[in-house]
Amino acid sequence: MGKSLKDIAEALKVSKTTVSWVLSGRGDEQKISSATQKKIIDYAKQVKYRPNHLAKSLSSGKTKTIGLVVPFIGDTFYAQVAMEVELVAEQLGYTVTFCSSESNPVRENNIIQMLRSKNIDGLIIAPTNYAKGELENLIQEKYPFVLIDRFFPELNTNYIIIDNIGCSYNLVNKLINEGRKKIAIITTASALFTMSLRYEGYKTALIEHDCFISPHLYGEVSRNEYELDIIRVLDTIFDAVPDVDGFYFTTHYLGMEGLRYFYKRNIDVSKIGLACLHSTPSFELLAPNMHIAYLPIKEIGRESVRVLIEKLETTDNEDEKVKLVLPVCD
């Protein structure tokens, strides 16, 4: 069994309070001599003292742990965000508990309640479209959380998102500037507000340039069965508009499956205008001419942790929400 603060205090014949102050970095503040501090620190290292985080959390009311809830932890985007969240949180003295809702609203609610029951200090959430009720409960109880990637405009919350309209508009503009006139959009989860913003950017670009607009150029893919469903969607578009000359994919995994479809159908991707919001390493090899908007993954992870911990460690302006819209590089 490891040594406790009491054991160290008895061995060195100092008070338990003195040991606690020194090992928590408050020795100078409490005017404890350098010699005593060194003696305590050296002995703690010698006996391999490890602080009792449970006892500390019970006394402070804080666990120095935050939760990250995402729809799909296997998605490369969310996996990369999770890595950044963990790195930045660790630098700030926090640990992270990761959970994946699998885009299931019941699972998502259960996860949030489970994390709260474990006294997690705060949450970073990429919510499903059905999370509004649970988020309203968090707001009412003044529980600290930050939304990433997705948000509800009617809820006053902290959030970090990308410029969905602007990046979609720019990508479609690039296709138009190549001379593309019949550009299809391939999207998913249209009930999500962020996806509706991406469609708005797409449509605005077409209207401004007097391009062909048709419901036959709109394809929505089921997220849970996207590998199969995208075949149906693209077959339908080609049947209805055989001379379609451009495709805008609103997320990276749709772009990947779109390329798989084109190669299986022996469609020359060099003769089709392609654009995608976010990337995978395969794009450079399979479609070097594809226009890509690269999401600011590091900034999303870094800012979400910064905002959450700032809310955790200060009570000033706790009702003032941080609403960040990050630009996208292309």
Summarised one tens digit per residue, pLDDT across range 224-248 is 889 999 999 999 999 999 999 999 9
State the helix-helix crossing angle for 5-12 and 34-46, rounded to 10 degrees.
120
Q: What is the pLDDT of residue 58?
A: 43
Distance from C-alpha of 128 to C-alpha of 65, rounded to nearest angstrom = 23
DSSP states along 199-215: HHHHHHHHHHTT----G
pLDDT of residue 306: 94
How many whole angstroms separate alpha carbon 65 and alpha carbon 124? 11
Q: Which residue reads 């340039």 in tokens?
A: 209
The CA distance from 93 to 324, in Å, is: 24
Ramachandran region, residue 179 (left: φ > 0; alpha: ψ -120 to 50; beta: rest): left
Read off the pLDDT band of 45 (50, 70, 90). confident
| Intra-chain end-to-end CA distance of the chain, in Å | 56
CB neighbourhood size of 316 (10 A): 7
pLDDT digits (tens, 9 = 90+) for 131-142: 999 999 999 999
Q: Is the pLDDT of residue 29 over 90?
A: no
Mean predicted confidence (pLDDT) in 13-32: 84
Confidence band of 2 (pLDDT split at 50, 70, 90): low
Looking at residues 294-312, what average pLDDT do you find? 94
Which tokens hold the place of 103?
């885009």
Quote the CA–CA distance of 235 and 223 in Å, as a whole number.
18
SS3 100: strand
Yes or no: say if 18 and 36 are a contact pair by the CB < 8 Å rule.
yes
Adjacency order of strands within the sheet including 273-277: 218-221, 183-188, 246-249, 273-277, 291-293
Residues 6+ apart with CB under 8 A from 256: 280, 282, 283
Cα–Cα distance measured from residue 273 to residue 184, given in angstroms and rounded to the nearest whole number: 10
**Rg over CA atoms, the chain:** 26
In the chain, % of residues over pLDDT 90: 68
Q: Would you say residue 168 has pLDDT above 60?
A: yes
What is the chain's mean pLDDT, rounded? 90
Q: Which residues pair with 100 in a beta bridge?
A: 70
Listed residue (278, 287, 284) closest to 258, CA to CA? 287
Grade residue 51 by pLDDT with cuts at 50, 70 and 90.
low
Rounded mean pLDDT, 8-34: 85
Residue 1 has pLDDT above 60, yes or no: no
What is the pTM assigned to this prediction?
Answer: 0.80
pLDDT digits (tens, 9 = 90+) for 264-298: 999 999 899 999 999 888 888 888 999 999 999 99
Give 67-112 pLDDT, tens digit per residue: 999 999 888 999 999 999 999 999 888 999 999 999 999 999 999 9
- Both tokens of 86, joined, read 């963990």
Looking at the chain, the whole-number percentage of residues with pLDDT higher than 70 is: 94
Q: Closest Cα partner for 219 from 176, 162, 257? A: 257
pLDDT of residue 5: 80
Model pLDDT, residue 243: 95
Backbone angles phi, psi at 327, to 5 degrees: -70, 160
CB 198, CB 225: distance < 8 Å: no
31 alpha-carbon distance from chain centroid: 44
